[in-house]
Chains A and B, each alone.
Chain A
Amino acid sequence: MHGPVTSTRIGQPVPRKEDMRLITGRGRYTDDLNVEGQAYAVMVRSPHAHAIIRAIDVRGALAVPGVVVVLTGADFIADQMKPIPNKTFSLHPAERPLVNSDGTPAFNVPDYPMPADKTRFVGEAIAMVIAESINAAKDGADRLQVEYEPLPSVTFTVDAAAAEAPRVRDEHSSNICIDAQVGDAEATEEGFRKAAHVVKVKTWIPRVAGSPMEPRAAIGEFNPQTGQYTIHTCSGSTLRLRRDLSLVLDVPEPQVRLVIRDVGGNFGTRGAIFAEQPLVAWAARRIGRPVKWTSERGELLLSDYQGRDLAVEAELALDANGTFLAMRGSNVGNLGSHTGNFSMVQKGVEIMSSIYRMPAAHFRVRAVLSHTAPTRPYRSSGRPEVIYVLERLIDLAARKTGIDRAELRLRNLVSLSELPYENPFGMVYDSGDYIGVMKRTLELADWKGFPARKKEARTRGKYRGIGVANYVDTASGIPREKARVTVYPDGSAEVVIGTISNGQGHETSFAQLVNEWLGVPFDKVRLVTGDTNIVDVGGGAHSGRGMRLGSIVIWGASNRVIDKAKQVVGLLLQKNPGDVAFDDGAFSVSGEPVMRLAEVAEAMAIRTDLPEEFRGTLCAECDETVNVAGFPYGCHACEVEIDPDLGLVEIVRHTAVDDVGRAVNPLIIHGQTAGGIAQGVGQALLEHAFYDASTGQMLAGSFMDYAMPRADILPSFITDISEVPSTTHPLGIRPAGEGGITPALGVIINAVVDALSEFGVTHMEMPATPERIWRAIHGKQQRSRIVPDAAEQEISLL
């Protein structure tokens, strides 16, 4: 996978600095913090998918010894607190906005952290019991009497789009919040008219729960003397979260301090502000003491922001040679019960054609509300779904045209000379060797040797299948980032930056950057993030922006540190700064070493004879706004072996070649890829946040029913890194965090369908459980994924 570590510079697979601390119980997660005088909060959650909250009787709860107060949504509004602002679309300049076809604005309404009027999903927090201990708070919660008037609900995406569906918001005439068209309808129509072959797929990519290892937690404090709130929490967001909190708490931003230390995973479940964050802060002010809240796994499965959930009908048109002419269809994304963020449907459809040459495309895109947990971007926001759709269409096209599946892809991949390439949705891919990477994948996966392996498996009664899938990711995110780099007389350095690590390993990879650029020893580089008292600009971690933007501003700040230091060397030695050279932590003049960086820092700190601008700390900042997107890409292959009697799938081989432009830490990159693949396996074969359509209940409410992928069902992955420098990044870097999962759904399902092709199986829905596979083999009707005992309903978006 990677060679031995020979230094701690860029490109080296340096083991992570933070790991020993994290795996020996010395992590500093939110729940590890205890604040003097803190009280404990427990949330009371709705058991109904949709109900009017008629009354909340707190007397029984208040009578429990140790209970301090019970707070409700009505109390929140009465205290003049504000609702949570919505983000809706990605407004990144490189992305394509969605607008309603009829010209009306997208429907969105902000939600309160706790509703006062109605509850709109099972698991929604409707009251907060605060007590001297968690047990007392739970006892109080048990005795809270809530009078609900249940109402009809709708949970399934396609059902929610129907005109007669129970409405989630009375203010709107339906559950459809956006109904847009993207692409060129006329050119697409033309493409289909000319087509020699048309293939179609109808599919539903179901809802999943991101399941980070660390449950959500928040501690709120309020200082009445200063009027300042302090919130300790886990999040992927820094300044944006602080801003959102200040809007909800209705105070100026400087009155909110946000502190984020170690975070045990995110994947999008905590990229945005979540209800309990402003609630603990508000409660702390109400009761005059800190309030701490930590959730439990069952709460996470019900009330974390969930992911995916897209119903698609799509068609691909090809000519007689198998050249792609056009694609069209309809996507309906399920927002859950909040109109918090529509960017998943946006980010999906804008790269619907992936990295293939696609002359024309046209899609209808809708986002609907339903009585389910709100959805938000989940690792690779919107893309695994659409890549799966196109890769399925291509496999169907290969079958129809008789052209080999790999050959059909190679023929249609955008070639080196065609880049930059504008896709039919207006996205411009900068650079990449798509064909080279796919060829490498086929080689590493031993695509040619597959027929022999398939034959051998049959002698053991097993059926093998293989799939290959290409992908592209749009790495955008909040465009602005800032770093301040400081070098100290003791030879150490500190990087203050507005990104945040939720497991990406920035403590290590950013230290490698500083080691490379400033020669500061790796172990002496400190990373400071997550405290808004220290960090004043930055966007946190999402959409691959951590390394992509972090590298730019750390590089910029490092260069300014060197320039400043050269000026000082020039002054001290009476030389022209232009004659001073810097390499690996040391300055030289005419080839002779003169001073080390740390010595310059010391001189600036203690000498009084330097001009004022060079007295003090040796530090510099870099604040950049990057309006271009990054486009990581790659190709994965998956080989499965199926036990036909029980429908059991074994992944015998999974190969990944991902282009990261320039790898900073291959060990971390391989780790990211492996994690992404595992999450893809999870959705393809196991995971489903199963909402019962008739009751609105989420039936996979614990890990006893929500099936997570585990290490023992996965092979060792074959992961390879390609480095074709990105032409739109000064260092050539492309993000690596989401490549593992983006092609995973498509490549795994294609492998399964390939394995079952001799039984006449042409498609498989997710999760491809043993029963689903067994039924497909025997031509039996599939079971529904929305009503446990019913037959599968045909998805129709027309």
Chain B
Amino acid sequence: MHDFVYHRPQDLTSAANLISGNPEAKLLAGGMSLLPSLKLRLAQYSDLVDLKSVATLQGINRDGDALVIGATTRHAQVAASDDVKQAIPALTVLAGGIGDPLVRNRGTIGGSIANADPAADYPSAVLGLGATVITNRREISGDSFFTGLFETALKGGEIITAVRFPVPLLSGYMKLPHPASRFALTGVFVAQTRSGVRVAVTGAGSSVFRAAAAEKALTADFSPAALDDITVDPDGLTSDIHASAEYRAHAIIVLAKRAVASARPQ
């Protein structure tokens, strides 16, 4: 690891000041992605600004028709939350399937979506539920948040404070775990939201995306059988030593069907 100066601000303004105007400064949440990259010397920063003591970034709250999750809320907290389970059970499943217990005890939702790993789970929920990413400066629609491979709409100095998830009518998440990393080899988040059906796919491309044909079919009939004749074009999907684009395209539909099946009330 290269040397850095470590900061632990107690409030959001101090944190923002520490990173403002300094492109060599980096925010640290759970560290589950950042620390390994520092140890492998793939990244180097002059300053690390640890957000764990900023109390306003924590917490899970029901706010009318929405569930608001603070940016530094850990995956284990989301997975164990009764509020989440009641409002959006697919999120409970999603958070409970991230990494392993060690990762879930430290990793955060804010860190996950800011990092925008193409195989991370949370981005599929943000896109799949039509969530809003709230920062210290503005609100960004989930549809505009993920812009590319490890790229988001966040500007320099901007800090995610929370994610607001509109509570859907139905939701389901199914993930095919990557055999090595346990990220999503392919993961599909399906939701019947108050403003329509969304099908968000992670792990299959350079960034999370919506499967339009599947959404159209499920809008007409929100059932697994509705996807029987729907296919996804492999062109542009990820191909690597673990799975071809063709297999991922096939898996998207299988997982979407299973996510829809799991979304039904018991």
Contact = CB atoms under 8 A, between A and B. Distances in A.
Nearest to B182: A710
A771 B247 contact: yes
Interface in B207-252: 239-244, 247, 250-251
A705 B2 contact: no
B258 to A, nearest CB: 9
Contacts of B241: 688, 690, 699-700, 705, 788
Interface string A689-721: 010000000011001111110000000000000
Given A135-B1, A646-B251, A771 B244 contact: yes
Interface in A185-202: none
B13 interface: no
B103 interface: no
A646 B251 CA distance: 7
A645 B179 contact: no
A564 interface: no
Contacts of A704: 180-181
A255 interface: no
A705 B254 contact: no
Contacts of A690: 241
Contact of A769 (B1, B242, B254): B242
A298 interface: yes
A789 B237 CA distance: 13
Contact of A135 (B2, B176, B239): B2
Contacts of B242: 705, 707, 769, 771
Main secondary structure of the interface of A (DSSP, over half): loop
Interface residues of B, number: 19
Given A138-B41, A769-B179, A789 B244 contact: yes
Given A135-B1, A135-B2, A138-B41, A707 B180 contact: yes
A462 interface: no
A708 B180 contact: yes
B5 interface: no
A686 B242 CA distance: 9
Q: Of B41, B181, B247, B251, which is in contact with the most chain A CB atoms at under 10 Å from its CB? A: B247
The 6 A-B residue pairs whose C-beta atoms are closest, nearest first, are A707-B180, A707-B179, A771-B247, A704-B181, A645-B254, A690-B241
Contacts of A645: 254
Given A135-B1, A135-B2, A788-B239, A706 B244 contact: no
Contacts of A703: 180-181
A686 B244 contact: no
A769 B254 CA distance: 17
Given A771-B244, A788-B240, A705 B1 contact: no
B40 interface: yes
Contacts of A705: 180-181, 241-242
A587 interface: no
B124 to A, nearest CB: 17
Interface string B166-184: 0000000000100111000
A788 B179 CA distance: 16
A645 B241 CA distance: 20
Given A705-B181, A708-B180, A771 B243 contact: yes
A392 to B, nearest CB: 23
A783 interface: yes
Contacts of B250: 774
24 contacts: A135-B2, A138-B41, A646-B176, A646-B254, A648-B176, A686-B180, A688-B241, A700-B180, A700-B241, A703-B181, A704-B181, A705-B180, A707-B179, A708-B180, A769-B242, A770-B247, A771-B242, A771-B244, A774-B247, A774-B250, A775-B247, A783-B244, A788-B240, A788-B241
Contacts of A788: 239-241
B149 to A, nearest CB: 16
Nearest to B245: A789
A628 to B, nearest CB: 42
Interface residues of A, number: 27
Interface in B22-57: 40-41
Given A138-B41, A298-B40, A788-B239, A706 B247 contact: no
A267 B244 CA distance: 32
Given A298-B40, A699-B241, A686 B179 contact: yes
A788 B243 CA distance: 9
B94 to A, nearest CB: 18
Contacts of A135: 1-3
Interface of B: 1-3, 40-41, 176, 179-181, 239-244, 247, 250-251, 254
Contacts of B243: 769-771
A495 B40 CA distance: 43
B122 to A, nearest CB: 18
Contacts of A769: 179, 242-243
A715 B41 CA distance: 38
Nearest to A775: B247
Contacts of A139: 2
A138 B254 CA distance: 46
A704 B117 CA distance: 13
A706 B41 contact: no
A648 B179 CA distance: 11
Contacts of A789: 239, 244
Nearest to A699: B241
Q: Of A298, A706, A771, A783, which is in contact with the most chain B CB atoms at under 10 Å from its CB? A: A771
A655 B2 CA distance: 50
A414 to B, nearest CB: 39
Nearest to B40: A298
A348 B6 CA distance: 55
Nearest to A138: B41
Contacts of B180: 686, 700, 703-708
Interface string A760-798: 000000000111001100000001000011000000000
Given A138-B41, A648-B176, 14 more contacts: A139-B2, A645-B254, A686-B179, A690-B241, A700-B180, A703-B181, A769-B242, A770-B176, A770-B243, A771-B247, A774-B250, A775-B247, A788-B239, A789-B239
Interface string A358-387: 000000000000000000000000000000
A298 B250 CA distance: 32
Nearest to B176: A646
A442 B251 CA distance: 36
Nearest to A788: B241
A770 B250 CA distance: 12
Interface string A550-567: 000000000000000000
A706 B178 CA distance: 11
Contacts of A783: 244
Nearest to B186: A646
Contacts of B3: 135
A142 B250 CA distance: 43
Contacts of A142: 41
Contacts of A708: 180
A31 to B, nearest CB: 15
A518 to B, nearest CB: 45
B17 to A, nearest CB: 29
B99 to A, nearest CB: 12
B37 to A, nearest CB: 11
A331 to B, nearest CB: 26
Contacts of B240: 788
A324 to B, nearest CB: 37
Nearest to B181: A704
A789 B254 CA distance: 22
B27 to A, nearest CB: 23
A704 B180 CA distance: 5
A700 B242 CA distance: 10
A587 to B, nearest CB: 56
Interface string A124-154: 0000000000010011001000000000000
Contacts of A699: 241
Interface in A672-693: 686, 688, 690
A347 B265 CA distance: 59
Interface string A525-540: 0000000000000000
